[in-house]
Amino acid sequence: MRYVAAYLLASLGGNANPSAADLEKIIGSVGIEAEADKIKKIINELKGKDIEELIAAGTAKLASVPSGGGAPAGGSGGSAPAPEEKKEEKKEEKKEESEESDDDMGFGLFD
């Protein structure tokens, strides 16, 4: 995701065809070491394409994705852990997910 974001930042800055060096500079500016293979893939996938059209097409695709829902009422019939245990497990899972997504998406910029 950080590579797509860097490409979009370069495009928004007026660079219609960002180079690998441009993306490396953007990604490096926040202390992240860029991976050349990922940069190459992003550039090859997006080269010559209109970013606004890609965003519009992606938005249309996301509109058809169902959202909401949840688990059906009832239970599995097995023994369930006490509510206190469930809360602790959920907190730990959320924390782990949060840390992983922060690393992946570059949200640790201001730490």
Q: Do the Cβ atoms of 2 and 27 come closer than 8 Å? A: yes
Alpha helices in the chain (DSSP H): 2-12, 20-28, 36-46, 51-63, 83-105
Q: What is the pLDDT of residue 20?
A: 94
Interhelix angle 2-12/36-46, rounded to 10 degrees, is: 50
Q: Which residues contact residue 33 at a Cβ distance below 8 angstroms, ignoring those fewer than 6 apart? A: 27
pLDDT tens string 21-56: 999 999 999 999 999 999 999 999 988 888 889 889
Report if pTM > 0.85.
no
Specify the CATH number for 1-51; select among 1.10.10.1410, 3.40.50.970, 1.20.58.100, 1.20.120.140. 1.10.10.1410
Which has the higher per-residue pLDDT, 98 or 57?
57
